Amino acid sequence: MKKILIITFCLVSLSLLGNDGAYMASGNQLIPIQETQVSIAKEVLRITKINDNEVNVRVEYEFFNPGDPKTILMGFEAPSPSGDVDGRPVNGAHPYISGFSVRMNDRQLSWKPAIVNSENYYVNNKIESKTTEEVTGYDFDPNSPDFYYVYYFNANFLSGTNKIIHTYTCALSSSVMEKYSFDYILTAANRWANNQIDDFTLILDLGEKENFFINNSFFYDKKGWTIENGNQQAPQLGPFGQTIVSKFEIKSGKLIYREKNFHPKGELSIYASGRNIDYQHSLFDASEDVLLNKIEFDIANEKKQTVFRSKDEASHKILRNLPFAIRGYIFKTTAIQQYYESMPWYQAKEDYKANVTDLPLEEQGWLKAVHNSQWEK
């Protein structure tokens, strides 16, 4: 029986967040860097949103080993959290990943976590792991750890088909601009013998009445997608103006993507946008949108106008109070106060008295437009 080392190393490049957001973790394939014979015949990737803070990831693999039985040391890598987080390890493992489990051919596999700070961490036939004390010394920054995690285990591959079920729960990332986001590394699958997944299925169950974006990084149009109850918009420039995305509006049920001979060229990136008032949306929706602490309004140039129309009466009441919230007014209406308290820029000032005539003329003009527009009925 042959014994082969396989440690995954395919961390996605992610921009670190400041304290206005929190990057928790990303998902990753179980992928080799040296193995050339075993291929992925089938993969079903299920991502289920448990609540607004967590997702469950379940991956069902069918691997095909054309050669003799072999034992393979495999690993799952997870980058450290960053931003507005506490990045300290918990019992030597990732602080925002839980319920990690691997089952192969109907047998539960044991695994161990390791903290590593170098991509060349397998030295002299062992993983060079660091202790929590070693990586959280006097200069440790809990908002930006400089290490990552490897969950490793031995997998006994039989000749022919082998099934692996891999599951874990992961905290969702978020920021001022996003209600939640989640990334999963797909391109690492190209490292298996067939440089692809022969039969790939992605199942997203993010809940009812959910609107979210997916980067057009591994797909180009509506081909391959099935929506049980909802719709998919045509590709568009993303809310942040940098990537092409598709917006999905799910009323209920699952969103499914299927592709044969799947050779991904990009990663899965899902996010629900807390839409910024400076983006040119026609309607403000308080249940989704994020307001910034500034107002830009030019009646002569509609392209530069801050949105002033609202989706409903509740959103209208919140929107028309933006100038006063910017200055720290404390609202007596609970819903309005709660909304602005959720904005990271809001700072209550007990001595501030709201007065329309004290506002700059630009904001007075915007406020008049808000009052005149009312809301969609």
Q: What tens-digit pLDDT sequence spans the chain (377 residues)?
A: 555 555 444 443 333 333 345 566 677 766 453 566 899 999 999 999 998 889 999 999 999 999 999 988 888 888 898 888 889 999 999 999 999 999 999 999 999 999 998 878 877 778 889 999 999 988 889 888 999 899 999 899 999 999 999 999 999 987 766 778 899 989 888 888 888 999 999 999 999 888 888 999 999 888 899 999 988 887 877 655 567 888 898 989 999 999 999 999 999 999 887 655 444 446 788 877 777 777 776 655 544 456 677 888 888 899 889 999 999 999 999 889 988 887 767 889 999 998 888 998 888 888 888 887 766 55
**Number of domains within the chain:** 2
85 and 161 assigned to the same domain: yes
343: domain CATH number is 1.20.58
Shared domain check, 102 and 233: yes
Would you say residue 288 lies in a domain?
no
The verdict on residue 284 lying in a domain is: no
Residues 157, 74 share a domain: yes
Say yes or no: 307 and 194 in one domain: no
Co-location of 261 and 311 in the same domain: no
Residue 291 lies in a domain: no
Are 86 and 175 in the same domain? yes
68 and 211 together in one domain: yes
The residue range of the domain holding 119 is 2-273
pLDDT at 241: 54
Asked if residue 295 is part of any domain, the answer here is no
Looking at residue 244, what is its pLDDT? 84
59: domain CATH number?
A: 2.60.40.3680
Q: Which of 273, 289, 320 is the last residue of a domain?
A: 273
User: Do 7 and 134 sit in the same domain of this protein?
Assistant: yes
Q: Can you give the pLDDT at residue 259?
A: 96
pLDDT score recorded for residue 11: 41
3-state secondary structure the chain: CEEEECCCCCCCCCCCCCCCEEECCEEECCCCCCCCCCEEEEEEEEEEECCCCEEEEEEEEEEEECCCCEEEEEEEEEECCEECCCCCCECCECCCEEEEEEEECCEECCCEEEEECCCCCEECCEECCECHHHHCCCCCCCCCCCCEEEEEEEEEECCEEEEEEEEEEEECEEECCEEEEEEEECHHHHHCCCCCEEEEEEEEECCCCEEEEEECCCCCCCCCEEEEEEEECCCEECCCCCCEEEEEEEEEEEEEEEEEEECCCCCEEEEEECCECCCCCCCECCCCCECCCCCCCCCCCHHHCCCCCECCHHHHHHHCCHHHHHCCCCCCCHHHHHHHHCCCCCCCCCCCCCCHHHCCHHHHHHHHHHHHHCECC
Q: Is the same domain home to 312 and 267?
A: no
What is residue 288's predicted lDDT score, i.e. its pLDDT? Answer: 75
Look at residue 292 and tell me if it is in a domain. Answer: no
pLDDT at 7: 47
Q: Based on the fold, state whether residues 135 and 260 are members of the same structural domain.
A: yes
Same-domain status, 36 and 124: yes
Within-domain flag for 48: yes
Q: Does residue 311 share a domain with residue 207? A: no
